[in-house]
Amino acid sequence: MIFIVVKFKTRPEYTEKFMDVVADFTAATRAEPGNKWFEWSRSVEETDTYVLVEAFEDDAAGAHVNSDHFKQAMIDMKLALAETPQIISHTIDGSGWDRMGELQID
């Protein structure tokens, strides 16, 4: 599985409407074959920063970055961002989320 985390720092005038900017991109990516999840969060420490956690089957990420909706999102997001996003992307073992071993809830 390819596991990716990306941090997006927004320009002040786009911070509150950033999810609107990425709405079509989000919906199209979630519908892609091989997409496992595509989840946005907002940092509680840096309120101008959104964090994207996404995962793809091993052979699906290439199609994602070559898709029309990905290319359009790169154009749409550019005006809303204050700096180049930071990314971590790795192929990892597993096929999805596991339960945390150190904390069990009955």
> Residue 13 — φ and ψ, nearest 5°?
-75, -10
For position 106, what pLDDT does the model report? 87
Give me the tens of pLDDT residue by residue for the chain, a chain 106 residues long: 999 999 999 999 999 999 999 999 999 999 999 999 999 999 999 999 999 999 999 888 888 989 999 999 999 999 999 999 999 999 999 999 999 999 999 8
In the chain, the domains with their CATH numbers are 2-91 (3.30.70.100)
Q: Is 2 helix (H, G, I), strand (E, B) or coil?
A: strand
For position 44, what pLDDT does the model report? 97
> Residue 86 — φ and ψ, nearest 5°?
-100, 140
DSSP 14: G
For position 61, what pLDDT does the model report? 81
CA dihedral (36, 63, 66, 71) positive or negative: negative
For position 13, what pLDDT does the model report? 98
- Torsion-angle region of 34 (φ positive above 0: left; ψ -120 to 50: alpha; else: beta): left
For position 25, what pLDDT does the model report? 97
> Residue 80 — φ and ψ, nearest 5°?
-90, -10
